Amino acid sequence: MTAVTGRTRLLALIADPIVQARSPAMANALLDECGQAGAFVLVPMQVPAGALAEVVAGLRRVGNFAGAIVSMPHKSAIVPLLDELTPVAATVGAVNVVRRTDDGRLVGTAMDGEGFVAGLRAAGRDVRGAACLLVGAGGAASAIAFALAEHGCASLAIVNRTAARATDLAARVRAAFPDAAVRVGHVPGARYDVAINGTSLGMRPGDALPMSRDVVERSALVAECVLAPEMTELLKLAAASGRAIHTGVPMLEGQMRLILAYLGVPA
């Protein structure tokens, strides 16, 4: 791997917690693979919610800062701190990648949704025509909701602890895709082709399950957005119930090359 020098451009992962993060190892391995290690390096930055604005302001002043991957819990909170959003990020209302332009402006985009769909496709699964359940209405979940509608899911049920956020997300998806069959909440006895955990539940020991055993048993495939642990309690339950499972890692793999390209790394 080429050494880091005074010419190295800095990429960051902004998240809290960060010890479980896979992005730094994955990104730096890809930088090495494409001959850009040393020209760029990605480092993890543990940033608590209360410090996000201060950290973003500081990064603006770092001359060799090229951009950042943004993870939980900052994907929505960082939006008002940026100068510009891509159309997809503006629609979703969240970002997971921020690029610093040559003139110092910060531009955010959202790739979680496309990453999730790409990860499913890499596993031989397609959301087109699928009955989908999405638990969550935060940044990652919002991006996934729009991607599911864009890629032609037959129906989408959105469930969230705060019902108002689910209602708002459903309304925004319908506005962007008027033909999409989007509803809020469970329909008793409904069966799903794909049930997705779009929350952070499962990252910490003792977290509640994001969906009940009954819902798991009515779902053909149970999918995660949580990256670590890779086998969450939800996926363990699904596997024990004979359901097909899909971990959160393919979502990250499905977008990492796109993320690095957006951040200015030559292919």
CATH of domain 113-250: 3.40.50.720
- CA atoms within 13 Å, Cβ hemisphere of 5: 8
Q: pLDDT digit string (tens) for 198-229?
A: 999 999 999 999 999 999 999 999 999 999 89
Distance of CA 208 to the CA centre of its chain: 20
CA distance 180 to 196: 18
**Can you tell me the distance from the alpha carbon of 225 to that of 20, in angstroms, rounded to the nearest whole number?**
13
Average pLDDT, the chain: 95
Q: Which of 9, 74, 75, 151 is catalytic?
A: 75
In which band, very low, low, confident or very high, does the pLDDT at 267 lie, cut at 50, 70 and 90?
Answer: confident
Q: 183: which residues sit within 8 A by CB, 6+ positions away? A: 155, 156, 157, 158, 170
| pLDDT bucket at 1, cuts 50 / 70 / 90 | low
Rounded to the nearest 5 percent, the helix, strand and coil shares of the chain are 35, 20, 40
Task: Give the CA-trace dihedral at 97, 103, 105, 107, to 10 degrees.
Answer: -40
DSSP code, position 79: G
What is the reported pLDDT for 2?
73
Indicate the residue type of 21.
Answer: A
d(CA 186, CA 157): 7
Q: Which residue has the tokens 């049930």?
A: 195
Average of pLDDT values for 172-195? 96
Percent over 90 (pLDDT), the chain: 95
Using CA atoms, how far apart are residues 189 and 182, in angstroms rounded to an integer?
17
Residue in 111, 100, 107, 105 with CA at minimum distance from that of residue 9: 100
The answer to whether residue 75 is catalytic is: yes
Q: Give domain limits for the chain.
A: 9-110+252-262, 113-250
- Read off the pLDDT band of 254 (50, 70, 90): confident
pLDDT at 231 over 70: yes
- For tokens 């949704």, what's the residue? 113
Q: Could you check whether 9-110+252-262 and 113-250 share the same CATH topology? A: yes
The CATH number of 9-110+252-262 is 3.40.50.10860
Local structure of 243: helix, strand or coil: coil
Express each pLDDT in 32-59 by its tens digit. 999 999 999 999 999 999 999 999 999 9
DSSP 171-194: HHHHHH-TT--EEESPPTT--EEE
Question: 3: pLDDT confidence band, cut at 50, 70 and 90?
Answer: confident
- Summarised one tens digit per residue, pLDDT across range 97-141 is 999 999 999 999 999 999 999 999 999 999 999 999 999 999 999
